[in-house]
Structure 1
Amino acid sequence: MIGEPEIDGGWATASGAEGAAEALPGEPGREGVRGARRPWLWALGGMVAASAVWAGTLAVQERFPDVPRLDYRHSSDLCKEFELKTIGQAAGRKFEGRQSAEGVHLAQDWSYCTVSTQYVEGTMMYGAQLLVELHKKGDPEAEFATGAGTDPATRLDLDERQEVQGLGDRAVLDRYYAHGGSRLMVLDGGAVFTLTVQWFNARDEEPAGIDENAMDAAMIEDMRALMAKLER
């Protein structure tokens, strides 16, 4: 409190070398005056410094108003982070042949992983691709999950889009028109997660016997696990 130092002399008493330097001969009362001023000057300096920091923060926010929040770390080897436990159970197959890629840039960091099941004649094959984008400047919300893709074999049926609750700020699940497959996209602040899973018969026949709802649930579960692992 303000009154306490004045009562016990905490501001008015100089001691040791500092007291000797402050209390000059022939200047009575100078010791008490100097001792009382210094804490106020120190406090004033702290207030000025804090104001400068706050003003700098406001200036940065005004200069880059669209900087999104990032709650996730960048992974240089995304395949080591992505386990596909539930997806593998839904497919009844083991995923292997993992390949990772990544890039670090001023505006965006990204990492990618692709995996697939081994070719076995007469059985269903699966492939999965995962892309994680960390937007450090522009907010990706306006363009999230827009566009149907360029490959006719994997064009998305956006009319059957499903909103997924409880995953990031927003999450959507889309199906492919041709060849069995689904795409799960999650937006959370400046992070965008895109997971696709495709399946096809090794004999180039139409895929059959796939429980798409079970695969969708597996994709959501494995995505949730990945996001928790990458969270800062």
Structure 2
Amino acid sequence: MISEPELEGEWDTGRPATPAEEPDAPRERVRGPRTAWLWALGGAVLASAVWAGALVAQDRFGDPAPRIAYRHVEDLCKVPLTAVSASTVKLTGDYARHNEHPALDWAYCEHGAPYADGRLSYGAEVSVQLHKKADPGTEFGADPAGLMGLGRMASSGGEVEQVPGLGERALLTRRVGGSRLEVLDGGAVFSLTVEWYGGQDAPDPDEDAVQAAMLEDMRALMAALRK
């Protein structure tokens, strides 16, 4: 039989009241911790969304990667200097180097010919740089020593002139004993150097013919590597 204390709720068990026992209690009293957790989760999601949006905006409005319309080759010596050989002596590519990097791919070839007494000796260097991160246009023409110092025959100095109709920009450097042609096209930088030396009794080459041959071989090289 239920006694009066049980009916009147006079027992004190020390346990907290439940919503069934306190129908008028505020709901926040029970759901407060969960609400705070949801607010924290929402703040984290919002922060992540803002960060992701910032990254997208940075990619969208940052400096774009340079345009590269040419492919990288490991052995640049496989592309012959046909026109230069016809205007000088038969040149053969016999020393190739290359490297691939997330920011820059480059290839290099040195061309030479057998030595002959009483005749001028000729040599040539060809290089291709593919800049994949930074625009090379701001530094174009500022490396007179060759492909970042890798060239062994090129030297600084000489008379520089613009060459129209070749890539975006083209520079031809004329100096005693040789010429150098550089071409900028998007993120690609091409270089061709031709030099001659020795043979004191041998006549000097027709420099205009050599430079015209360099332009022809440069066009052929760019066409061969175009994607």
Q: Same fold (TM over 0.5)?
A: yes
**1:1-232 matched pairs, under 5 angstroms:** 59-63=58-62, 65-80=63-78, 82-91=79-88, 93-96=89-92, 98-149=94-145, 154-157=155-158, 160-176=159-175, 178=176, 180-201=177-198, 203=199, 205=200, 208-232=203-227
CA distance in 2, matches of 1:146, 1:200: 25
**Runs of 5+ unmatched residues, structure 2:** 1-53
CA distance in 1, matches of 2:93, 2:168: 32
CA distance in 2, matches of 1:184, 1:129: 10
What code does the residue aligned with 1:200 have? Y
State the shift of 1:207 in Å.
6.5
Asked which structure has the greater CA Rg, the reply is 2
Q: Which residue does 1:31 correspond to in 2?
A: none
State the shift of 1:130 in Å.
0.6
Contact 2:96 2:107 in 1 (8 A): yes
CA distance in 2, matches of 1:217, 1:153: 19
Aligned pair count reads 169
Identity %: 44
Q: TM-score, normalised by structure 1?
A: 0.67
CA distance in 1, matches of 2:202, 2:179: 14
What code does the residue aligned with 1:230 have? L
What code does the residue aligned with 2:215 have? I
Quick one: structure 1 residues 153 and 98, their matched pair in 2 at CA, closer, same or farther if it must change by over 3 Å?
A: closer
State the shift of 1:154 in Å.
2.5
Contact 2:118 2:202 in 1 (8 A): no
Quick one: structure 1 residues 184 and 61, their matched pair in 2 at CA, closer, same or farther if it must change by over 3 Å?
A: farther
SS of 2:217 mapped into structure 1: helix
CA distance in 2, matches of 1:153, 1:230: 23
User: What is the root-mean-square deviation in Å for CA atoms of aligned residues?
Assistant: 2.4
What code does the residue aligned with 1:222 have? D
Contact 1:132 1:193 in 2 (8 A): yes
Q: Which residue does 1:51 correspond to in 2?
A: none
**Runs of 5+ unmatched residues, structure 1:** 1-54
State the shift of 1:83 in Å.
1.1
SS of 1:87 mapped into structure 2: helix
What code does the residue aligned with 2:191 have? T
